[in-house]
DNA sequence: TATTGTTATACTCTATAACTATA
DNA sequence: TATAGTTATAGAGTATAACAATA
């Protein structure tokens, strides 16, 4: 599908997995912020593993869904929806264009702007990616009942 | 307390906050991974804001709690408990030593290793920081009842 | 031989700021 | 004057890999 941007290889010296004798995390255990962060790292890892064959990362995937969902989206709109700076959105879109997922079409109403659009191939691949994302979601919620998953989703949206 | 390492200033061009006409996040809305990520960003922001006067970040705070909790902790143990590489732990400890929170004492049992220890001033400051962290927790859970907060914590730990 | 802390180096992500071409 | 996209640059975070001292 195109030039594969990097995701990172895991090698030798890296992260070990054993800890101290009887290590204690003290006050951290009961902190929502801390547990949220640890969970996010676990989830991120599983996402990368599950979607490795598409070189997909969470921000890339979010950008694809947003562009697929919103016709005539400007790059600045995408940046705002993702909560990142425009300069970052440029790089993200560059990558996704290189990968063949989307393209920059001239905006119908503003000669300064582009209208972001999924390519035909990108739309097709997104379908496969969505299946993988569902598998990913299944992995990370494997220890939760459907009701618990729904409850969790509802509670998380009220955090922050 | 010491040389203040950077956290970052927010200036002009940065992130805008408006979005497209009637923007849709499509499939993202229902994804636990996505909502977890968004929540984590909100929480991270509030943490930085609430603990700005101590130049504290979540990883720095986690390191402080872990060192305060575990006597004779080696740098390698800290790295493992934080889930980062040893080289990263060196930089983190460098920062916290510069800030006057902790010190590297010779290990009693291994001439290669250090025993990380909170300084007296560090211990005292950590108490104030803990109070601020509790305020931070209160902010981010303001829309949850105590029971809901407990439920959320319990569910999050089962994710991933 | 393996491990501890360190350093050198590199890569990702994201930011600020300045520029250009439009509006 | 303000906005859209871009580019240059920089900083934080974290990784791999190699090294000296010690186990």
Residues constituting chain A: 160
Mutate: best of B33, B57, B59, partner A, most A CBs <10 A: B33
Which residues of chain B does A66 touch, with a Cβ-Cβ cutoff of 8 Å?
A: 23-26, 28
pLDDT at residue number B21 = 57
Q: For B59-107, write each residue's pLDDT tens digit.
A: 999 999 999 999 999 999 999 999 999 999 999 999 999 999 999 999 9
**What does the block give as tokens for B31?**
């994804």
pLDDT reported for residue A23: 85
For residue A74, give every residue at least 6 positions away whose Cβ sits within 8 Å of its Cβ, in sequence order, or none.
Answer: A107, A110, A113, A114, A115, A116, B20
Q: Average pLDDT of chain B? A: 89
Interface contact flag, A68 B136, Cβ < 8 Å: no
Q: How far is the CA of A10 from the C1' of D16 (A)?
A: 8
Question: Touching check for B151 and chain A: CB below 8 Å?
Answer: yes
Q: CB B62 to CB A36 under 8 A? A: no
Partner-chain contact A39 B148, CB within 8 Å: no
Checking if the pLDDT of B25 tops 50, the result is yes
Determine contact: A113 vs chain B, CB below 8 A.
no
> Given A39, A44, A62, which is nearest B156 (Cβ)?
A39
Q: Which of B24, B26, B31 sits opposite A137 (nearest CB)?
A: B31
Predicted local confidence at residue B9, as pLDDT: 39
pLDDT beyond 50 at A16: no
Which nucleotide is nearest, taking the CA of residue B73 and each C1'? Answer: C4
Strand, coil or helix: A9: coil
pLDDT tens digits along B127-160: 999 999 999 999 999 999 999 999 999 999 999 8
- Is the pLDDT at B10 greater than 50? The verdict is no
The whole-number pLDDT of residue B5 equals 42
Q: Which of A95, A69, A91, A97 is nearest to A79 (CA)?
A: A91
Shortest CA to C1' contact from B77: nucleotide: C4
pLDDT at B4 over 50: no
pLDDT beyond 80 at A81: yes
pLDDT of residue B93: 98
3-state secondary structure of B38: helix
Nearest Cα residue to A101 out of A88, A78, A79, A120: A120
CB of A24 within 8 Å of a chain B CB? The answer is yes
Chain A nearest-CA distance from B105, in A, is 17
């Amino acid at each position: 599908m195109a030039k594969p941007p990097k995701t990172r290889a895991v090698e030798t010296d890296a992260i070990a997995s054993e800890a101290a004798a009887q290590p204690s995390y003290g006050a951290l255990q009961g902190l929502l912020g801390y547990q949220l962060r640890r969970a996010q790292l676990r989830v991120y890892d599983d996402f990368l593993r599950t979607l490795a064959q598409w070189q997909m990362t969470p921000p890339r995937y979010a950008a694809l869904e947003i562009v697929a969902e919103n016709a005539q989206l400007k790059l600045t709109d995408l940046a705002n929806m993702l909560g990142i700076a425009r300069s970052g959105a440029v790089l993200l879109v560059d990558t996704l264009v290189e990968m063949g997922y989307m393209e920059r079409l001239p905006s119908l109403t503003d000669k300064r702007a582009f209208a972001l659009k999924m390519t035909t191939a990108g739309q097709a691949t997104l379908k496969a990616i969505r299946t993988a994302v569902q598998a990913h979601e299944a992995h990370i919620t494997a220890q939760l009942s459907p009701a618990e998953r729904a409850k969790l989703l509802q509670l998380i949206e009220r955090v922050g």
